[in-house]
Structure 1
Amino acid sequence: MPLQELLTQIEHALAPVRHVMKPILSDPLVMGIWALFVLASVGVLWWDVRNHNQALPSMMKGVWTLVVLYSGPFGLAVYWYSGRTQISRDSLWRRGFRSTAHCYSGCGAGEVLGFALLAGLLALQSTSIVTAGTFALAYIFGYALTVGPLMQEGVGFREAMFDALYSETPSITIMEIAAIGTDLLIASQAHISGLLFWGALVFSLSVGFVFAFPINAVLVHFGVKEGMKNPAEMGQSQPKGQEQAAD
């Protein structure tokens, strides 16, 4: 079956999703309430990091900030479950969530930049060019978050790049197929000045996270990815007064 025919069939099958989500994601009241939830979630995150989780590395503080900016209360819940130094015990699920969040922060930045620049500011009409460009930026940003820290630890560029390609490509690919596909399904004709453009972009990011999580959990389970360090180990040196049990 030709690829174009397959994509057309998928689009027709998911048409009910588009009909439901378009009016929701273009509703000023709904998106305004969502924006307030996001701001409140970021405020809670920063309060918690400042008062209880200063031990987290600067990179992870940035990762969690982006995750919560992209996904609001959902991102905050992921942080609370898997990213705080107060977690009672680590697990495959928590490691999978942290690994997905790390990938998500970089790929999300690439996706936002790709759609905003190519489909928005440059107003490119070719869906294939916008899609390819956004995919490329998502891969670049996603790989950079792995290559950069490895090189800071003294790993050579070639080895760091090979490690990123080997460990990150499956999850980035699944994440972006889901995210970009969702965005195009809902708002392929939306303009950057329209609320639907941004609403669909935000929604698509969270869809990408959901699809990428099981892939990351499997990769962590089989040792393809190490998973991010257990934050509880970072918090062991904190004063007892700052420690809280959380599960």
Structure 2
Amino acid sequence: MAGSTFYLEQYLDSLEDLPTELKSNFNKMHDLDKRNRDTMVQIDSSSDDYLRKVRDLSPSKRKQEMEKIQKMFKKAKEMSDDKVQIAIQTYELVDKHIRKLDADLAKFEAEMKEKGRLSQTESEEETEQEEEKKGKKKNLKDPKRKKAREEEKKQKKTKNSKADVSVTQTPFGILSVPQEVLDMPVDPNEPTYCLCGQVSYGEMIGCDNQDCPIEWFHFGCMSLTTKPKGKWYCPKCLPMFKKKK
């Protein structure tokens, strides 16, 4: 189980700074929330004061008072926007670690399956060698028996190579999905992404169309190895933005 220990140690190391980052983000959000509430109290007070004395104010003074209240509203909105941005960053921070864990689990399971296949192949080869020895003793000049064994070996190799990758048919073509991901137990509450309709794993890229119904896509399904520069649109949204240009 050395492989599982390696992945576990790596993942725990990546989590080392997570509690500190989360605590810092939550403290910032709490501070912004408190300042925003104080600002809203000031706005209520200033608005009541303005309504009481508005009849006695000159037009220029009324304008000054209104601009003062509007500035407070603008300040409150900016603080609310900052709080939302920190909340999004916090979500993405946690989601990044979840995706890494999913990817590590998929790799680990793939390695375990590969080791299992190798062990099975070695056992089969040993059995075949023993059978061959027995066969030679019985009939050293039997070409039909030898040919049948070679055909059987070819069929087993073809079967193993096809089992490595599964494909999903979509309106945009055939997308390859790692078999280890398909074999992972699915949490019914976990959201699915991409054109392949699978859970998040490995590297993901977000569509820059804010109204995209899917939002997130797997690098592999989009034939990407690195994040492209500038804005990126998924196959569903790209035709619409091409028309706009």
TM-score by length of 1: 0.30
Structure with max Cα Rg: 2
Bigger relative contact order, structure 1 or 2 (CA pairs below 8 A, ≥6 apart): 1
Q: Which has the higher strand share?
A: 2
TM-score by length of 2: 0.30
